[in-house]
Structure 1
């Protein structure tokens, strides 16, 4: 079920809208809708007409493609605060991949027509959005460099550091996806990922308990990059 709700602060804290003034934020919020989906539910499917994009308030959304042979390739896993499928709004008529909830999720749905109308009336909004969007482009360039220039261990170390949190003197990373999904995200298979994790633990870089990885020495761990 969808309903309108006040979300100016949520929009302002997302990368795409962070540079917009309060009036523009209010205009977008007035046209936006709340969407709640449960774990395993599709947000959109590959080839579906792209009529909206989304802000993920809480939960996790997996973006993936299915090959002709039936194998799954994970393109990205979105977490709270992320913008989802904005690219399909700007340069495509259809969603280029599938989006499915890995957890129960709450999102903001921003209709394409309302957003495009705002841009047409206020070109300055488009310029500000282009500035914010360039940050996302740099992030994807970095991801491509990781796949071409870094080995699996380095990609795994970078993932753990990027998703780590600090509690007291301990830096830890809670694995919120399955190892199969993490393997696909890192461009490998589960068996190879397991060997890489075991190697890091055997060398004293990590400890693991119930899907939570504790980094034994962050400075030493960072030298692996």
Structure 2
């Protein structure tokens, strides 16, 4: 009895895994994970679910492929060379920008922080930690601190952006929050009262990089 082979020129010409993943990324950008179903994806690609299952076994595999495509597309040679701290900064900003562009990435990366593409990124950061001469016993802690901060801060920034509808004036939103902080009792909330102006004027990306630099400064002293 003849057996079916997975790869045929006709099927690959009709629908490739790359096309499926590209469409999945677009749908995730538009509606998040809840909006990505095989039925909706089939309609978008004008094909049947069976044709998609030929290339992707299930939704988990599809989400992993979409995450890999959305994140690694920015990992170019610009983050591959240079002093260790510069390479780490470049990787961090690439991840921040990717999650800012694709907010659903934060949730996906948090589900498997030591798997797939996240594991590859941790390896790249870890190599730079070693190149900095960090003692062996502190390398895991140093790399983990950077990964936790990068993923957490980028995810929080994306979550903040989703809280407001398209077209929202960011400056107005920050001014509203800053005004609320300024209105706090200065005796009960002296810190928040004092930094209200910094909240109003801060740049998310610059603040994120400042946080990376604070961690790197501490790592450099180990």
Q: Same fold (TM over 0.5)?
A: no
More strand by share: 1
More helix by share: 2
